[in-house]
Structure 1
Amino acid sequence: MGKKESAVAFLDGIVQAISGVLWDYLLIFLLVGTGVYYTVRLKFVQVRYFGLGIKKLFGSFSFHGGKQEGGLTSFQALATAIAAQVGTGNIAGAATAIASGGPGAIFWMWVSAFFGMSTIYAEAVIAQKTKRELHGKVVGGPAFYIQEAIKGNLGKFLAGFFSIAIILALGFAGNMVQANSIGAAFNSAFGVNPILVGVACALIAGFIFIGGIQRIASVTEKVVPIMALFYVIGCLAILVMCGGGAVAEAFREIFVSAFAPQSAAGGALGVTVQQAIHYGVARGLFSNEAGMGSTPHAHATAKVNHPADQGVIAMIGVFIDTFVILTMTALVIVATGAYKMDLTGAALSQAAFNSQFGDLGMIFIAICMLFFAFTTIIGWYYFGETNVRRLFGEKAIRVYALLVVGFVLVGSAQEVDFVWHLSDMLNGLMVLPNLVGLLASSAIIIKLSKEFDKKQRDLRN
């Protein structure tokens, strides 16, 4: 091993150690704790307004929302948020949780998502309240509400730290990871050179980036519903092929091994309740991004009558990501019995689909990887763009777009473990200032929610 390789290996070890502390201990408690806090303070808002959120989702649904003066439509904002939330983690994340924590991890993934719905509601509400026009564009997100809630140098530092972390985590490192997933999937399924896939992805991504948020929203509002429906139909087809008995047994495995792994198949893997909780919560939070500070950038751009109008629809994003997409992946893995194989991540999901679809399983996963990862690239690019605009001004946007296109191209052709680990660590670091800002904003979030409650009571009366 040369000096360069040794230095990278040394840095990789440090990055993995920091990431381990963040995701294995600190963030699980902070994210779930924040979700529990807002669930209690907002009187189980995710239950009270779930129906309203669904109603608003379908009421604003459109494949051609067009230009909305002063921002996006509520559905466009949600579609952009879901584009980022539903990524390769929905195929690999559930598999990793099951492989490491047994089928019971999925139950704890549901629990974390339930509380995460109140967290993302709070994020969307305060992002709406603190949004502003910057260089002619409607923008908002954690960097803005952190400075509103925390005055002075501390607020400036935390906001700046968040902005830099999200640009590096999502715009650069994260998009390399997503592009690599597309390249690898198409190479396995079709034998296509990953470089060619990367060139195609980079060119299409660049065209979308140049059009700004309006073009990004125009793409996501069309692609996100189609990709979600395509994946769900594929999963349902496998579950039908497995039969009702296998599906019922899958649910039994999930619930039993959540509390007593030794009484279920998870016991054979030496899985404990603590492991089931840990991996379920960690992978669930990483996938649905509740509390991470990413999706508020999209929700801030929606033009709504009251901040909580977007808050209730933001909750549905977490529901779709975890209770629909991730759950479908989990049921396929458990119902087919693939989780008993010595596999993890995307390879485990691949094996589950191949068990019923044969060679078509690999093609199905490759197509889903393309949709999931590419829409995530678009969403993550925009989240980074908002913070580039805030820190460096409008002139820096083109440079940022070119850099992201470059990272997509390089990432698609070359898997660098260090970049994957760096992305995980930076994702974790950006959560910390976001949660500080979110909790510091609790008084205004609760006040706005009470206003919304009164408004809804008046409408009913």
Structure 2
Amino acid sequence: MLNSILTSINDFLYIYILVALLGAAGIYFTVRTKAVQFRLLKTGLKSLVDKKKSEQGISAFQALMISTASRVGTGNIIGVATAIAIGGPGAVFWMWIMALLGAASAFMESTLAQIYKVHDGDQFRGGPAYYIQQGLGKKWLGVIYAVLLMGCTGFGWNTTTAYNMSAALEYYVPNYRDGIGPMVLGAILVVLVGCIIFGGVKRIGFMSSVLVPIMAVFYIIFSLVCVIANIGELPRVFGSIFSNAFDFSAMAGGFAGSCMVQGVKRGLFSNEAGMGTGPNAAAAADCDHPAEAGMGQMISVFLDTLVICSATAMIVLVSGVEGTSANAGTPFVQAAVMSMFGSWGIHIITAALFLFAFTTLIGNYYYAEANLRFITEKKSVLMIFRVVALCIIFIGTGVSFDTAWNMTDILMGLVAIVNILAVFALSKVALNALKNYDKLRKTGEKPIFKAKDINLNNTECWK
């Protein structure tokens, strides 16, 4: 009964609100920024080459890696496989559209996060809760957003992530769910994640900047091997993606499970564009101009969806294995690689899944803590929250598949609605900052931002 109620709420949010809201936001911000995600892509990549540490905050590269650690996770493997299994190959096309348009939304929200960031000792912190409070003057709405995001990342996403790690072991351990396997895995994760999150943002940034590039390259190479081994299947694969994406008769028959809705859901879950999660990492970076943080996060969206998610899509689609609601998720990916490479292929997928999931647990926790500290600075509350967050990871290894996804999707949808509306309301500020960046670039000098240059006087760090 609980899962039936959650499914109804989930379908209503995405069918009637989020598909239209996220699409409209992506198109609007793409037009208003003159397609910033394309015209400043090269500039953004250059700005990330400088990986030097700062005495204040973390580097722009580390901020990118923290946000990518959260984005590049189980959603890139299990989420993509689930979308294709339920919605069909066309879901991949709509995930691509979500990324291309959503990158503009990611730029806007992350630029705002940099503008309205606050000092946190010798570091910085910020995000939607902070720009809602300072930019809109509505702390109560910032608190609502913070609570929703804490529930989504610290509890919802980490429950789903822990579940997916646990599900991957069912192949190796007979009757895994009936034994102590989930509890053993949960205990190991609690120890490993606990060692990192108690070390603070700089330890999280360091771990992410090391693990994320390694695992991304590893997974991309594996996907290329799969594609090359089945190169003759590519015309069929791309044909099925585009034909299924525009099969409107099939959508009319069951829109909730259609490729469009599944693509939007899993695209949002994977790249998080418009949700306001990435801006929490963007705000921690020590940048010379807020637009630099915005560019870093739009690149993270491209890396997540156009590269990593596409890698998973190619793996399952070139295999020829059919995805169904019965094998959605981990079993679909495992069956795909087994059909191509036998059991050793499953070992590679399991290793990739665990690496992605581990960094996701860390990145998600970082977002949750940043928003808790918006509400209260009490160390006792922070300590309790860290313990509860670790308990949630432990519990997540034993929850059910449908309930975990439904709860996560609902929280994710609510977070996105609050954030996108706030970004719309503050869009003029972010657009003025972008115009200032473009103007300074034309002088040939390194753009240095000052709030007064765009007639802004309610910021803490840019005076």
Is the partner of 1:110 in helix, strand or coil?
A: helix
Q: Which of 329, 352, 360 is the matching residue for 2:344? A: 360
Question: Aligned-residue CA RMSD in angstroms?
Answer: 2.4
Q: Distance in 1 between matches of 2:385 and 2:206?
A: 21
Q: Distance in 2 between matches of 1:225 and 1:325?
A: 12
Maintained 8 Å contact 1:142/1:293 = yes
Task: Please name the residue that 2:143 is paired with.
Answer: 160
Task: Please name the residue that 2:428 is paired with.
Answer: 443
Is the partner of 2:258 in helix, strand or coil?
A: helix
Within-5 A mapping of 1:83-98: 83-98=69-84
Q: Does 1:148 align with 2:134?
A: yes
Going from structure 1 to structure 2, the CA distance change for 1:416 and 1:403 (only over 3 Å counts) comes to farther
Going from structure 1 to structure 2, the CA distance change for 1:158 and 1:273 (only over 3 Å counts) comes to closer
Residue 205 of structure 1, CA deviation: 0.4
Q: TM-score scaled by structure 1?
A: 0.89
Is the partner of 2:124 in helix, strand or coil?
A: strand
Deviates more, 1:273-282 or 1:442-451: 273-282
Deviates more, 1:112-121 or 1:345-354: 345-354
Going from structure 1 to structure 2, the CA distance change for 1:260 and 1:169 (only over 3 Å counts) comes to closer
State, as a whole percentage, how many aligned pairs show the same letter. Answer: 37
Q: Which of 19, 22, 26 is the matching residue for 2:13? A: 22
Residue 16 of structure 1, CA deviation: 2.5
Within-5 A mapping of 1:65-76: 67-76=53-62
Q: What are the Cα deviations for residues 84-105 of structure 1, in whole angstroms up to 9, with x where unaligned? A: 1111111122222222332222
Going from structure 1 to structure 2, the CA distance change for 1:355 and 1:17 (only over 3 Å counts) comes to same
Task: Please name the residue that 2:201 is paired with.
Answer: 213
Residue 136 of structure 1, CA deviation: 5.8
Going from structure 1 to structure 2, the CA distance change for 1:53 and 1:455 (only over 3 Å counts) comes to same
Is the partner of 1:453 in helix, strand or coil?
A: helix
Q: Does 1:345 align with 2:329?
A: yes
Task: Please name the residue that 2:416 is paired with.
Answer: 431
Is the partner of 1:22 in helix, strand or coil?
A: helix
Residue 271 of structure 1, CA deviation: 8.5
Q: Distance in 2 between matches of 1:21 and 1:102?
A: 21
Maintained 8 Å contact 1:261/1:273 = no
Q: TM-score scaled by structure 2?
A: 0.89
Maintained 8 Å contact 1:102/1:271 = no
Maintained 8 Å contact 2:168/2:350 = yes
Maintained 8 Å contact 1:130/1:148 = yes
Q: Does 1:188 align with 2:171?
A: yes
**Aligned partner of 1:344: which letter?**
A
Between the two proteins, the alignment pairs up a number of residues equal to 439
Within-5 A mapping of 1:349-428: 349-395=333-379, 396-415=381-400, 417-428=402-413
Maintained 8 Å contact 2:59/2:285 = yes
Deviates more, 1:33-42 or 1:164-173: 164-173
**Aligned partner of 2:296: which letter?**
I
Structure 1 stretches lacking a partner, 5+ long: 1-8
**Aligned partner of 2:387: which letter?**
L
Maintained 8 Å contact 2:14/2:261 = no
Bigger helix share: 1
Within-5 A mapping of 1:93-112: 93-112=79-98
Moved over 4 A (4+): 270-274
Within-5 A mapping of 1:24-423: 24-57=15-48, 59-60=49-50, 67-134=53-120, 137-151=123-137, 155-189=138-172, 193-243=181-231, 245-260=232-247, 275-339=258-322, 343-395=327-379, 396-415=381-400, 417-423=402-408
